Amino acid sequence: MIKLLIVDDSALMRRQLSALFEAEGDFTIRLARNGQEAVQENNAFQPDVITLDINMPEMDGLTALSMIMVERPVPVVMVSSLTEKGALATFEALNLGAVDYVVKPGGTISLSIDLIREAIVGKVRVAAKARIKPASRTGTASATRPGVVRRTVGNENAAASPTAPIRRASAQSRGLVIIGVSTGGPRTLESILPLLPAGFPWPVLVAQHMPASFTRPFAQRMDGLCALNVVEASRPMTLEPGTVYIGKGGADMVVAERMGKLTVLPKPENAAYLWHPSVELLGRSVLELVDPTQVVAVMLTGMGYDGADAFTELKKRGARTIAESEDSAVVFGMPSELFARGGASVVLHCAKIALQINSWVS
């Protein structure tokens, strides 16, 4: 049985969530009305996982989370609103140590629960098994860059062996970095992207599974942390060196050629892919237009297998690829799938990834 603590100031929301998880048959549930009760129940009930509302009286979710992570760290899934304010609070929660979040749609609570039923059950189950990271500190970009300690998987410098002709655009830069990430991604990206230096010579494309209302605030947050320019890819944009493009939530992101220049395009979600923005679709578009020997592909924490096939094919054709290691990934799903397919040039702790990217690109 999974011991679950549900924390919400709304009695109706507590009842709805409790009924939802009781119907699963393998949850033991306790309820809390505010952050103060959450801290107390975390010690008394000792849950395996907590769902935690952000906006509550007496003690809000962020304050409670900070105390939980000090007194008895446990996987936490935040329950957030769709507003920009809710997004910013969610990123702060992830920075404090929350594993994941689920967004409450608008409307009546009963309808909202039906809309998020599958998502919240799945995320709570994953979170119950997730690795908890210590809270991040402000000023990630000033962190000491560690030396590279890596495990080589196959030949990372193998010559390209294309199985189909590669059509190359007139690149504005020498190459391209692409990153795929899901659960646990915002905090992990905060430990990597700020360590890419000003003057970084390649564009960086990030496909982070995230709802539409969250990606712009996330890009703005990262722009404040990074030496590079960070933008949401919400419209067609010519790829420029030293710029990080965050795929717009609620859409997919692909690389295309326009007037001889590489361009990032947002596209409507492709139903053929399970997760969005799709890492697989991004990787496939890169395969069509960019010399794989000039690509660095990075697979970070996340559940599922999004991007594993495309990144493996990129490696076969000469790209250099990184899979985040199990000892740092919040969820070792996506990097594990890449490793299992033989698609990882190296497997690295997240603290080593920025240095490896810098080394390869320079």
Do 2-128 and 145-361 fold alike per CATH?
yes
Instruction: Spell out the domain ranges in the chain.
Output: 2-128, 145-361
Q: Using one digit for the tens of pLDDT, what is the confidence trace for 251-303? A: 999 999 999 899 999 999 999 999 999 999 999 999 999 999 999 999 999 99
What secondary structure letter does DSSP report for 242? T
Pick the CATH number of 2-128 from 3.40.50.2300, 1.10.10.10, 3.30.360.10, 1.10.760.10: 3.40.50.2300
Residue 148: C-alpha distances to residues 19, 251, 349, 359 (Å): 48, 35, 9, 10
Average pLDDT for residues 202-224, to the nearest whole number? 95
Return the pLDDT at 168.
41
Average pLDDT over every residue of 107-134 = 81
Higher pLDDT: 320 or 212? It is 320
Decide if 245 contacts 255 (C-beta within 8 A).
no
Q: Does the annotation mark 182 as catalytic?
A: yes
Q: Which of 81, 182, 285, 336 is catalytic?
A: 182
pLDDT of residue 252: 98
Residue 46: pLDDT over 80:
yes
Its sign, for the CA torsion 284, 238, 230, 103, is negative
List, in order, residues 6 or more apart from 10 with CB less than 8 Å away: 53, 109
Residue 207 pLDDT class (50, 70, 90 cuts): very high
pLDDT tens for each residue of 240-263: 999 999 999 999 999 999 998 999
Nearest of 67, 85, 25, 74 to residue 51 by alpha carbon: 74
- 132, two tokens: 């908890």
Of 142 and 56, more confident: 56
User: For 153, which DSSP code?
Assistant: -
pLDDT at 2 over 50: yes
Kind of pairing, strands 261-268 and 151-152?
unpaired
pLDDT of residue 61: 94
Is 306 tagged catalytic?
A: yes
- To the nearest whole percent, how much of the chain has pLDDT over 90? 77
Enumerate long-range contacts of 16-24, CB under 8 Å, 24 or more apart.
16/109, 16/110, 16/113, 17/51, 17/113, 17/120, 20/113, 20/117, 20/120, 20/121, 21/121, 21/124, 24/121
Whole-number pLDDT of residue 136: 60
In the chain, the N- to C-terminal Cα span, in Å, equals: 50
Q: Determine the Cα–Cα distance for residues 142 and 145; give it in Å rounded to an integer.
A: 9
Question: Which residues does 154 contact at the CB level (< 8 Å), separation at least 6?
Answer: 315, 342, 344, 345
Give yes or no for a contact between 155 and 224, defined as CB atoms under 8 angstroms apart. Answer: no
CA distance 317 to 82: 41
Residue 53 bears catalytic tag: no
pLDDT of 92 > 90? The answer is: yes
* 182: confidence class by pLDDT, cuts 50, 70, 90: very high
CATH of the domain spanning 145-361: 3.40.50.180
What pLDDT band is residue 143 in, cutting at 50, 70 and 90? very low
In this prediction, residues 48-74 reach a mean pLDDT of: 95
110: pLDDT confidence band, cut at 50, 70 and 90?
Answer: low
Task: Round to whole Å and give the CA distance between 248 and 216.
Answer: 7
* pLDDT over 70 (residue 82): no
Q: What is the C-alpha separation between 281 and 286, in angstroms, rounded? A: 9
**Which residue in 14, 92, 80, 19 sits closest to 53, CA to CA?**
80
Query: Which pLDDT value is given to residue 103?
Result: 86
The dihedral built from the CA positions of residue 339, 136, 224 and 303, taken in this order, carries a sign that is positive
Report DSSP state, residue 199: T
Other beta carbons less than 10 A from residue 170's beta carbon: 9
d(CA 143, CA 106): 40
Nearest Cα to Cα of residue 256 among 279, 238, 235, 231: 238
Residue 158 in this model has a pLDDT that exceeds 90: no
| Cis omega (within 30 of 0) for bond into 277 | yes
Sign of CA dihedral 135, 137, 140, 144: negative
| Mean residue pLDDT across the chain | 88
Catalytic one of 48, 53, 100, 209 = 209
- Indicate the burial class of 336 (C-beta count within 10 angstroms; 0-12, 13-18, 19 or more): buried
Classify residue 74 by burial, with Cβ atoms within 10 Å: 0-12, 13-18, 19+: buried
Q: pLDDT value at position 163?
A: 35
pLDDT winner (highest mean) among 72-76, 130-134, 165-169: 72-76
Q: Tell me: pLDDT of 167 over 70.
A: no
What pLDDT sits at residue 104? 78
pLDDT at 150: 32
Helix H or strand E encompassing 27: strand 27-32
The catalytic residue among 8, 48, 291, 306 is 306
What is the model's pTM?
0.84
